[in-house]
Structures are given as C-alpha cells and as structure tokens.
Structure 1
Amino acid sequence: MAQQHLDPTDPMAGAMTGDALAGYLRAQATEFLRALRLHRETGGDGGAPARSKSRAAGNGSGESVDAARALRRSARRISASLHTFRPLLDPDWSETIRPELAWLSGTLAMEHAYAARLERLLLALHRLSGAPVFPAQAGIALTTGASTADAAADGDSASTACAATPAGGAGTQSAAHTDSPSGTASDTSDAAAGGRATGAAPGGTGPASRPAPTAERGNLTVGAAKAGALLERQLTLARTRAHSTALQALGSSRFHAVADTIALLASEVPLTPAAATADLRPLAAAAEERLTDAVAALPLVTAGHPYNAAALIHGLSPDPAPHPQDAPWHQVRLLLRLHRYAREVLHGDDTQVDVRLLATGQALDRHRDASEAAAAAAQAARTPRIAPATAYALGVLHADQRHEVEAARFAFQQSWQPQTVGTP
C-alpha cells in the first residue's frame, strides 16, 4: 500500500516507491471485478430472478449502465497507470494488456456516446427552432424534454435518451417516410408546429402579440422536425449496433482473457526488480510536463476569440475527415486524464481536489461532446436527396455546435492558469 507522507503539509514529501503503484493497481483491479460481477447480475446475463423481482421497474437497467460505467472507469485507470509508470512494470505483460484495456473501454463507451449525442442534438434543435423536434410530439408538454435533460445530467443519458426517442416509434416513422424534396404532409405538419411555437393564438383567432418570425426562422422550424428524425434514425441505428458490439465483446474469449488478467492483477502486480526502490514522482512529473507542453502548443489566442469561421468552413466541406483543429485539444484531454490518474497513484485517497484541473477537464469534455455532435450533424447533412429545409436546419445545428466548441475552448483558456499544474 502507499506509504504515509512524512510531511503532512507537503503532499510530495516521502519516498513513493513501487509499493504505492502496486496498491493502486490492486485496488483498481478489485473495482473492475466488482463492477463486472454487478454487470452480470443486473444485465450482462439476465440477472437472478430473485433480484429482478425485488427491483423496481427499470432499476436493473440503470444498475447495468452504472456497472458498465464502473468497468470503463477502472479499465481507464489501469491502462493510464500502465502507460505512465511502464518503466516499473514487466514490459511484455504491460504492452500486452494495455491495448486490450483500451479496446474494452472504447467498446463499452460507444453506446453511451451515441445516446448522449442524440440527446444533445435534439435539445439543440429544439432550442434553435423553438418548436418540438418531431411533429408527433407537438401535443406533448415541453417539460418532458426538460425532465429528460435532468435525468441525463444525473448520469443515465443512455437510458433516458432511449426512452425519449424510442426506435421505431410512430412519430419517428411518420417523419422518416416523408423526408423527401417533394414531401407535403410533413411540411404541413412542420408548419403547423412552427405556428404553435412562434405564438399563434389558439382557436385560429390570429397571431399573438409577439412579432412574426423571420424567413430564416421559419425555414429552420420547417426543417427541424425532419432533421431531428434523420438524426434519430442514424444515431439510434449506431447506438443499437454499439450495444450489440458491446454485448458480443463482453461474451467473447478476448474479454474473458482480459478479465482473467485483471483477476491476477488483483492479487499480484508484475513489477520489475528496480520498482522496489524506484521513485514514482519523476514519472508522474514527466506526465505533467507532457501535459504542459501540449497546452503550450494550443492556439489559446484563437480560443480567446468568440468566433472561428475556419472551423465552420471545414465542417461543412464534403471531406468527412475529422476536424483538424480538434485533434490537439483531444490530445490535451487525454494527457490531462493521465496527469489526474498519476496524482491518484501518488496520493491515493488523500488526493486533494484541484479546482483548476476539474474546471479544465469539464471544459475539454464539453469540447469533445460538441465536436462530435457537430460532426454528426455535418454527416447527416451529407445524406443524399434530403429536403432543402432539412439541410438548412442541419447546417444551423452544425454551426451551433461549432460555436459550443469555441465556447469550450474559451472556458479552458480562462480556467488554465500559468501556475504549476500539480499545485491544488
């Protein structure tokens, strides 16, 4: 286990040897096995009948999502520690298990990512157009979307997004089959929804006191419903495939080999002979230095401006490649995670909360989510034979998400201070 700090006022005091790393890896391996058992009990293999009867409806699904999230969290921490402190670990074992943990974490994360992306885009469409995203939802109280967003903020985005936009629902099919340049029924429904959203008086007594929307707002309202239906079809299909891939992965021999390795790690950590006397702090400092260098290479001056037209131009181009401006920021996000996990290895449960690292991490998470949402909107806009109003709504949605990217970069630039990263 980690040794006690000699000086309680200096968290870096004392010798941090391989014992601290071994204790951290054993603890994370134990968490991994506990989450795996919970996942199998609640959703991985159907669960026990007695447990199913004792749960409220839908609670087992939520516990299964939490278990999958715990699996990803433990896998990320073990993989990051193997990367940061690899000179102190058996090289063959480390280089074999680390890619497998990355594969597992990425596979389990895709379903949640697609569900959260769909939820984000639908809420953005509603905010931009001021009308229900789907024509069939015009009679539903708008507070339903707010309650869904609150539930997603509590951490169950995948289940709430699925409940809010069921695959194959009547509203989805109605909008899906009318998304054509010559569609008339959907246009009429969209126009009616736009009239209700922009303040038409009930009972056909004429417009309300609010001013009439501009032509651009009207076009956005007309296309928002069909754009939402198109995004729902594409992202729900991707989420379904990701769910099937995750289930296949958890039942594969590859995953069982990873679980067996983690089970051995919970009892024995393959350290090198030099790890008994080696100090962990230089390796953790190297991770901090890599983060600082990557941040120094970011265009923080550009991030200080509220508008970045080059980002919008590239995102709407026919090239479906990832945005070139986003890659350095994604790399900083990964390096920030490595630095945070290295701090956990050094200090264990006594790790002090670094407000700056917390704020910058949240800003980079927002950046990643908005960037991927913008890419999804641009990909949907490239769908052949869609109505002009649908393409217009998707273009506005893409621009909105790219503005969110710029806002996240600005928030990161404001949170990042010139002081030492490791200082809380």
Structure 2
Amino acid sequence: MAPQHPDPTHPAAGPVPAAALERHLRAQATAFLRALRLHRETGTGAAPEESAEAARALRRSARRISAGLHTFQPLLDRDWAQALSPELAWVSGTLAVEHGCTARLQRLLAALHRLSGAPVLPTQAAPAPGTPPARAASRPPAAHGSPAAPPPGRPGTGAPAPARSRTTTATTAVPPPSPATTATAPAPGTALSLPDRGNLTVGAVKAGALLDRQLTLARTRAHSTALQALRSSRFHAVADQVAVLASEVPLAPAADRADLRAPAAAARDRLADAVAALPLVTAGSPYNAEALIHGLSPDPAPHPQDAPWHQVRLLLRLHRYAREVLRDGEAGGGEAPPTPADAALLAAGTALDRHRDAAEAATAAAQAARTPRIAPATAYALGVLHADQRHEVEAARYAFQRCWRKDVLGAP
C-alpha cells in the first residue's frame, strides 16, 4: 500500500523552511535555461513540434518562477523579486499568444463542423486503408425536398453568380482536410488540419475561411513578436537573472526562521475570497439569462461576466504552484505525489481553462462578425458560432460549480 502523504497546508503538518523555496526556484531556473537552450537549437532546421515543445517548457518554468516570486515575496529580496516577477510574466504571456491563436482557430473550425450536423467527428474521419478518398462537395448540400441546391447567385432567381463572385468564393474556401484532425493545437509553422467541408453550408464555409485568415494572420504576427522578444535586450537581461537564480536565491534576512506555509495560506485565502465572490448559484443553473444582456452590445471589449472567472483561474494557479513548493518541501527535496485535494484543484483548473478558451473563441467569432461587407449567411454562421461558444462558457462555469468544494483549500 502506498504511503499516505498529509496535506501540506494542514495545521498538523510541520513547518516548511525556506530551503524548500530555494530548491524549487533553482530547479525551475535550471529548467528555464534548459528549455531556452533547446528552443535556440530547434529554432532553425528542426521539426516544428520540437520547437513548440521547447516554447511550452519555457513558458511552464517561467510561470512557476514568477508565481514563486509573487507568492513568497516576503521571504525574498523585495526589490529583486518585484523586478523579476513581472518580466517572467511578460515572457510567458508573449510566448502564449501564438499558441492561443492556433488553439482558438482549431476550436472554432471544429465547432463549425459540429454545428453543421456532421455525422462523424473530425477525429473519426480518417478513411479506412484502401478506401479511395471522398470527393469534396463543390456545392452546398441540397435543401430538403429539392433535387439540388442552386448555385450561389441572386436570391429568388435561378441566375448563377457572376464570374467575380465565383472567383472570390474559390479563393476563400477552406483548405482540404488532412486524413485525421486532432484536438491538440498543431505546432507553429505547420498547416492546420481543417474539418471536411462537405457538410458545411456556404455561410459556414465562408465563416471558416474568414476565421482562418484573421487568426492565421494574428498567429503569424504573434510568432514574429515572440521571435523579436527572444532576441531583445530585455529578454537577455531576464535570462541573465534566471541564470544567477539557478545558483543563488537572494533571500530576506528573516527567511531562516520563516515558515513557507504562511505565504501559501495567504494565497489560499485570496483564492477563497475570489471564489466566494463568484455567482456560483447562477452558474449552478442550466441557463444563465443574464449572460444575454450584453449579447448585442457594440462594445468589442470582453464580456463583463468573464473577468471575475479569469481572476479566479489565475489565483487558482498561484495556489496550486504554492502547494507544489510545500509538497516538495515536505518530501525533503524530492517530488511528492499529489494528494486528493490536488486532484480536485486540477479538475477545477481544467474547468476554468475551458472557460477561458471558450470565452476567447466567442470574442474571436464576434470580432470576425464585425468585418465590413460580409455576406448575411457568413454573419449568421458567425453569430451561431458565437452563441455556441457562450454556451460552452456557461457549461464550464457549471462544471466548476459542480467540482468545487470548500474543503479542497484545507483549513486556514
């Protein structure tokens, strides 16, 4: 039977010295430098998957160092921690934009495929060996009760569209899909595997093409920004400070007699207060009518209901990272296994990640719908897509309300 490790935030657990924080920060700084070296080695002539994995490792270690400096700042040199923590957050945020654009596009295209009534999901659309690939439909599916749908043209007439319109449609069509579409975001520099458009209407196809253009452009700009950031003097200064951190952690004079559980308890209390301010009763209902109040607002700002949930997501991450430091300190420098409370926090964090992804996807669909001079069918498809992602937001809030328990935070 595996040994049971006590919850590190429990009052019965022993004090955790500052040496545990030193080991944690040095280990994360070493991981940062290793990921940076791997990212530079894979930057030219390497597989895009390796470069994306190196960027993820760089972001992961930067987040943990920044969180440690923020949570345990009273035990560290104040000026040094306040200067380095936001710089590491800048590195992590800059590298995250490109991955966010890629994942957002994949999510929206998969939602378009699902909302079009496709009988097979994109991940199950791979043909059997030896089966010839299906021919892509050159026209939208026929309407019910009619032999074939007319080609695009003026409504109410059988006249075909002018040659100029046919050319525009051909240039904005979604590229053909790959044999299989995965739910994970592809690496930078690789082509996205798009769903089969044989079951999509003209509006859905054009909406997908519009989203593809806009988010691919945003992704390209984010990639260029990330490369410029990694070559800048600002990033080199951050890397130099992390290199010093890998060998020496500047602690405060009173850190020798301090207990890490006190700053971790403060992070836990901030999370508890933020969760208590959430409308969990509204999130527990299957339909949130208040979310429709700002549905037709001309303001392109994010939805006003999303900000408190995003804040809880960030505070939950800080709390989880603080628990990692305490668990490693309890294990004497080794990696301690997670407790049941850690599994519950991970499930709550997963629900909040879904909430963030759906909210950002809904914002991207709304911004695409504001594009001037788009066809009514395209605007309608984007409106349906926006509503679908807002339903995903409500579903994520409901999932968080179901999996959240006050006892996962432990006793104060």
**How high is the TM-score relative to the length of structure 2?**
0.79
AA paired with 1:149?
A: T
AA paired with 1:358?
A: L
**Corresponding residue for 2:156?**
none
Contact kept in structure 2, 1:121 and 1:373, CA below 8 Å: yes
**Corresponding residue for 2:182?**
149
Which structure 1 residue ranges, 5 or more long, are not aligned?
1-6, 53-59, 166-170, 172-192, 198-219
Contact kept in structure 2, 1:111 and 1:158, CA below 8 Å: no
Q: CA deviation at 1:404?
A: 0.2
In structure 2, do the counterparts of structure 1 residues 400 and 160 end up closer, same or farther at CA, with 3 Å as the change threshold? farther
Q: Distance in 2 between matches of 1:144 and 1:129?
A: 16
Deviations 1:177-208 (A, max 9, x none): xxxxxxxxxxxxxxxx7xx63xxxxxxxxxxx
**Corresponding residue for 1:38?**
38
In structure 2, do the counterparts of structure 1 residues 146 and 85 end up closer, same or farther at CA, with 3 Å as the change threshold? farther
Deviations 1:53-87 (A, max 9, x none): xxxxxxx2111100100000000000011111101
**Corresponding residue for 1:285?**
265
**Corresponding residue for 2:229?**
249
Deviations 1:358-391 (A, max 9, x none): 1101100000000000000011111111111111
Contact kept in structure 1, 2:48 and 2:190, CA below 8 Å: no
Q: Superposed, which structure 2 residues align to 1:138-287 within 5 Å? A: 138=137, 144=177, 147-150=180-183, 152=184, 156-159=185-188, 162-164=191-193, 197=199, 221-287=201-267
Determine whether 1:100 maps to 2:80: no
Contact kept in structure 2, 1:312 and 1:402, CA below 8 Å: no
Q: CA deviation at 1:8?
A: 5.6
Q: Superposed, which structure 2 residues align to 1:399-418 within 5 Å? A: 399-418=387-406
In structure 2, do the counterparts of structure 1 residues 61 and 422 end up closer, same or farther at CA, with 3 Å as the change threshold? farther
Give the aligned length: 347
Q: Distance in 2 between matches of 1:160 and 1:304?
A: 41
Deviations 1:87-143 (A, max 9, x none): 11111111111111111000000000000000000010111113699xx9548xx99
Which structure 2 residue ranges, 5 or more long, are not aligned?
123-134, 139-174, 329-334
AA paired with 1:18?
A: A
Determine whether 1:69 maps to 2:56: yes
RMSD, aligned α-carbons: 2.6
Q: CA deviation at 1:418?
A: 3.0
SS, match of residue 316 in structure 2:
helix
AA paired with 2:277?
A: A
**Corresponding residue for 2:76?**
89
Q: Distance in 2 between matches of 1:41 and 1:334?
A: 32
Contact kept in structure 1, 2:48 and 2:189, CA below 8 Å: no
**Corresponding residue for 2:299?**
319
Determine whether 1:376 maps to 2:364: yes
**How high is the TM-score relative to the length of structure 1?**
0.77
Q: Distance in 1 between matches of 2:278 and 2:287?
A: 16
Determine whether 1:362 maps to 2:350: yes
Q: CA deviation at 1:164?
A: 2.3
SS, match of residue 323 in structure 1:
coil
Contact kept in structure 1, 2:180 and 2:193, CA below 8 Å: no
Deviations 1:250-293 (A, max 9, x none): 11111111000000000000101111110110110111111111
Deviations 1:18-49 (A, max 9, x none): 11111100000000001011111111xx26xx
In structure 2, do the counterparts of structure 1 residues 408 and 9 end up closer, same or farther at CA, with 3 Å as the change threshold? closer
Contact kept in structure 2, 1:20 and 1:346, CA below 8 Å: yes
Q: Distance in 2 between matches of 1:402 and 1:10?
A: 37
Q: Distance in 2 between matches of 1:366 and 1:301?
A: 19
In structure 2, do the counterparts of structure 1 residues 305 and 157 end up closer, same or farther at CA, with 3 Å as the change threshold? farther
**Corresponding residue for 1:4?**
none
SS, match of residue 163 in structure 1:
coil
Q: CA deviation at 1:146?
A: 8.1
AA paired with 1:350?
A: A
In structure 2, do the counterparts of structure 1 residues 146 and 99 end up closer, same or farther at CA, with 3 Å as the change threshold? farther
Higher relative contact order (CA 8 A, sep 6+): 2
Contact kept in structure 1, 2:207 and 2:379, CA below 8 Å: yes
